[in-house]
Amino acid sequence: MLILEYYDLTNLIPIMIKNLKNIASIALIALAISSCSKTKDAPLVNEPQQEKNDKVYNYIRSLGFPSSSIVDLGTEYMVEEDISFPKNMDVPVTDGSPKLEQYYTGTLVSPANAANIKVFVDPSMASMNAEITSAIAQWNAVAGSALNFSIVAAAPYDIRITNVNLGNGVCGSGTFPSGGRAGNLIRINKAYIAGNSFAQRARTICHEFGHNISFRHTNWAAIGESSAINVPGVGGTDALSIMNGGQCGSGATVLSVKDKAATAALY
């Protein structure tokens, strides 16, 4: 015989409702925790970069450098790994059109300033004084050019050469001229080039001096850099050029015939 027993559930209903509410609350909390975790773990979506609109950036673009080659380092733009454009530089007046087939920037040191470019050697570079002197001697010896560098012990000076850790693969960096004056800074990655021969260390310094008086990389096309314009009357490639890029520790150690001709043509 089946016996049915009756239980009064009236008193249990409030308890069941309360338990259901607690379960629902726990579920909502779990969902919230899960949602926060997903938000935290999900990759952040980078905001689209705003288009640069400052004068220095636009000047760099006017020289023919593509935006993809311009690296923003905060206080300066770096191009082609060894050409620095300080953001507070005096921007030369240009017509705004890209310069094609270029080996120099089109902006030169004025004749008066080129005749006496004063170089200050930062104490951090004192151990490479001989290499600096050798590099300067090469530029000063170019026949038919009024260009002249001299080392000074204190301010005022036009170029300061200093030691900076630029990371592996970068031997040095120079600065293009502006306002009729030579680029004001050369940075040498002294620890990185220390193992190179004396001639190659001097070559690196000589190369950066070339940037500071307006020279671009002679082999710009071969190493995939932006288009450039020829020095008037001195065009074409030159495997012996000291201004060839990407040759730290292995490039030419003296100014080539074309390097000298280009220097005489500009200065």
Residues β-bridged to residue 229? 102
Question: How confident is the model at residue 134, as a pLDDT?
Answer: 99
Question: How confident is the model at residue 85, as a pLDDT?
Answer: 86
Question: How confident is the model at residue 67, as a pLDDT?
Answer: 84
- The span from the CA of 44 to the CA of 137, in Å, is 54
> How many CB atoms lie under 10 A from the CB of residue 72?
12
Q: Is 264's pLDDT higher than 60? A: yes
Q: Is 44's pLDDT higher than 60? A: no
Backbone angles phi, psi at 119, to 5 degrees: -115, 125
Question: How confident is the model at residue 81, as a pLDDT?
Answer: 78
The total number of residues shown for the chain amounts to 267
Q: Is 102's pLDDT higher than 90? A: no
CA dist 19 → 14, 16, 22, 29, 82 (Å)? 9, 5, 5, 15, 71
Whether the CB-CB separation of 209 and 109 falls below 8 Å is answered with: no
Q: Is 50's pLDDT higher than 80? A: no
Q: Is 166's pLDDT higher than 70? A: yes
Q: To which H or E segment does residue 239 belong?
A: none
Q: Is 4's pLDDT higher than 60? A: no
Q: Is 231's pLDDT higher than 70? A: yes
- Is beta strand 117-121 parallel, antiparallel or unpaired with respect to 159-163? parallel
The pair of three-digit structure tokens given for residue 6, joined into one six-digit string: 């009756």
Over residues 17-26, the pLDDT tens digits come to 455 445 444 4
Question: How confident is the model at residue 63, as a pLDDT?
Answer: 80
Question: Helices marked H in the chain — which ranges?
Answer: 12-41, 55-62, 111-114, 129-140, 190-193, 198-212, 257-266
Question: How confident is the model at residue 92, as a pLDDT?
Answer: 72
Q: Domain coordinates of the chain in residue numbers?
A: 55-266
Q: Is 34's pLDDT higher than 70? A: no
Across 81-88, average pLDDT:
86
Amino acid letter, residue 204:
T
Across 163-186, average pLDDT:
94
**Per CATH, which fold does 55-266 belong to?**
Collagenase (Catalytic Domain) (3.40.390)
- The span from the CA of 204 to the CA of 211, in Å, is 11
The DSSP result for 161-197, as a single string, is EEE----TT--EEEE--BTTB--SEEEE-HHHHTTS-
Angle at 151 (CA atoms; ends 149, 157), nearest 5 degrees: 85
Q: Which of the given ranges, 8-12, 101-105, 242-246, 251-255, has the highest pLDDT on average?
A: 251-255
CA dist 35 → 21, 44, 45, 160, 263 (Å)? 21, 15, 17, 55, 66
- The span from the CA of 112 to the CA of 238, in Å, is 30
- Of the chain, the percentage scoring pLDDT greater than 70 comes to 72
